[in-house]
Amino acid sequence: MRKAPIEYIRSFLSTQTDENDLTYFVVAQADVIIEAVKAPARRYTIKEHQNMHGVVYQTARTDLLDLTNRGVLELQKQGKELVFRVPTDIGERLKRLEAGPRPS
């Protein structure tokens, strides 16, 4: 949203004015995801996530730790700060998540 606020707003408004067709919003968000997948080793902090999404510290922390538990992010500690990184094999990890657990 921060890098392309006009595209986000346009997708949101298009969705509202076209009988709530979410296609506009989904396409805009897919572009964000594609860009994120192309940015392995990108670094995130709880504070950055908090500021970017307008959430409280605990919510930002919970979000990032959940993504770490799911294998989407990797956690490192730098001094007292928790740093989350996008792994270089993020595409493969997302495919595995999408496939879900195998039936027994």
Q: What is the predicted pLDDT for the residue at 47?
A: 93
Q: Where are the domains of the chain?
A: 1-38, 40-104
For 69-92, letters b (16+ CB in 10 Å) and e give: eeebbbeeeeeeebbbbbeeebee
Mean pLDDT, rounded, for 8-19: 79
CATH code reported for the domain at 40-104: 1.10.10.10
For the question of whether the overall pTM of this predicted structure is more than 0.85, the answer is: no
Mean pLDDT, rounded, for 25-46: 72
First-last CA distance in the chain:
40
